[in-house]
Structure 1
């Protein structure tokens, strides 16, 4: 059993929470508006879940999940996440986040910027390239023919392994892209983004990706 500290309770965060409690994990979930606004979600999730502040969720986490609008990534508290694996689900939407030149120019990745902000943590990309509803709706047991695959990337092998184990529990195979510097391959507007694919198809789509549109 793992305690997931989820920072962000939107579509992706709430779906990860639903699947995690179903699998027997504990969830501490937070958002920017305060734990009182999560009463309905926590009631739905049941006794394995509780609402908290962002700081409290980070402190409670064995593994943290950051799933917030990317423009707010600097609001994630580095201190309580030091030494922990942090799964980054974020995607850059300049229409929402404002233009970030390092991303526009292909000089950085969303996960790489989060890693810079959390130097004491081990950031891994995860759960960023599928519709939120598919997190609970499309997983299948290991060994299933044509099992859906998801990508991860990290500068830390043990962090990528945490995501791999969680993916398998959730019902997905894993394709490891490599370091965070390669995580752009699964970001928005690339061939692997938002489509259902098995491991071979995902590997092929990652290879097709171009750095800039």
Structure 2
């Protein structure tokens, strides 16, 4: 798949890698954030992507990728309201209530992707939410390589699924058809496939092993563990008291 016009909203860790890889794969890539094109760092555009306004990012594209916090997705609805319905919209977000605030419907059990479709008022594909940003940035491999990491993709429309899976392959990972959006809870934060860098062969078992009732507690434990690793200060090296 090449020569696709892609708009990306969000240039965080995942959005940045997406911009670099998809442009290197031969796609026309525009990127935007909420603060304006002048705030997008040069390395995001190192493969030739273009920094534009959010309104420009959603105009005249074949694919729209939303790589912004899930809690902010409702605000994107007004931006993409005029995007043609046959344009694939791909969401990469996860629900982090401790960081972003609570969403009552999701806390009550609604699948995150279905909540997103309600907020945006259109179909989406769910992809790249199950891989950590470090793995996404550093563990890509050519197609056919042993141990190539698989990324699950959920969608209700075949056209969205096909586009999302093709773009996953273009970024250096195996795309795995994870079924409908109703089943995409199996790739949410806390599920067995989340940040475990599984291969295509291992992915079916991990998706099948997911337990909906355990996801919230597993999600909160995972977030707490990551937060502890990030926020715990490193020990200060002891100075030698020996004389020179």
User: What TM-score, normalized by structure 2, do the two folds share?
Assistant: 0.80
C-alpha contact (below 8 Å) 1:78/1:117 kept by paired residues: no
C-alpha contact (below 8 Å) 2:7/2:61 kept by paired residues: yes
Q: In the TM superposition, what is the alpha-carbon distance from 1:201 to its structure 2 partner? A: 1.1
Whether 2:143 is the aligned partner of 1:138: answer: no
C-alpha contact (below 8 Å) 1:35/1:51 kept by paired residues: yes
In structure 2, relative to structure 1, the CA distance for the partners of 1:188 and 1:19 (3 Å cut) is same
Mapped to 2, the partners of 1:195 and 1:61 lie a distance apart of 32
Provide the residue aligned with 1:112 in structure 2: 114
Question: Could you tell me which of 91, 103, 108 is aligned with 2:106?
Answer: 103
The higher radius of gyration belongs to 2
Please show how residues 140-155 of structure 1 align to structure 2 within 5 Å. Answer: 140-155=141-156
In structure 2, relative to structure 1, the CA distance for the partners of 1:212 and 1:54 (3 Å cut) is farther
Q: In the TM superposition, what is the alpha-carbon distance from 1:39 to its structure 2 partner? A: 4.8
C-alpha contact (below 8 Å) 1:4/1:28 kept by paired residues: yes
Provide the residue aligned with 1:29 in structure 2: 31
Mapped to 1, the partners of 2:210 and 2:41 lie a distance apart of 41
**Greater alpha carbon shift after TM alignment, 11-20 vs 132-141:** 132-141
- Higher RCO structure (Cα 8 Å, ≥6 apart): 1
Mapped to 2, the partners of 1:176 and 1:102 lie a distance apart of 26
C-alpha contact (below 8 Å) 2:73/2:120 kept by paired residues: no
Provide the residue aligned with 2:53 in structure 1: 53
**Greater alpha carbon shift after TM alignment, 28-37 vs 165-174:** 165-174
Please show how residues 155-170 of structure 1 align to structure 2 within 5 Å. Answer: 155-170=156-171
Number of aligned residue pairs: 209
C-alpha contact (below 8 Å) 1:19/1:136 kept by paired residues: no
Mapped to 2, the partners of 1:181 and 1:157 lie a distance apart of 15
Question: Could you tell me which of 14, 18, 21 is aligned with 1:19?
Answer: 21
Provide the residue aligned with 1:73 in structure 2: 73
User: What TM-score, normalized by structure 1, do the two folds share?
Assistant: 0.91
Mapped to 2, the partners of 1:170 and 1:55 lie a distance apart of 25
Mapped to 2, the partners of 1:136 and 1:117 lie a distance apart of 29
**Greater alpha carbon shift after TM alignment, 32-41 vs 160-169:** 32-41
Deviations 1:127-177 (A, max 9, x none): 111122322422222222332111000111110111111122222222212
C-alpha contact (below 8 Å) 2:74/2:120 kept by paired residues: no
Task: Provide structure 2 residue ranges, at least 5 long, that are not aligned to the other structure.
Answer: 215-244
In structure 2, relative to structure 1, the CA distance for the partners of 1:158 and 1:126 (3 Å cut) is same
**Greater alpha carbon shift after TM alignment, 139-148 vs 96-105:** 139-148
Provide the residue aligned with 1:205 in structure 2: 206
Task: Provide structure 1 residue ranges, at least 5 long, that are not aligned to the other structure.
Answer: none
In structure 2, relative to structure 1, the CA distance for the partners of 1:132 and 1:60 (3 Å cut) is farther
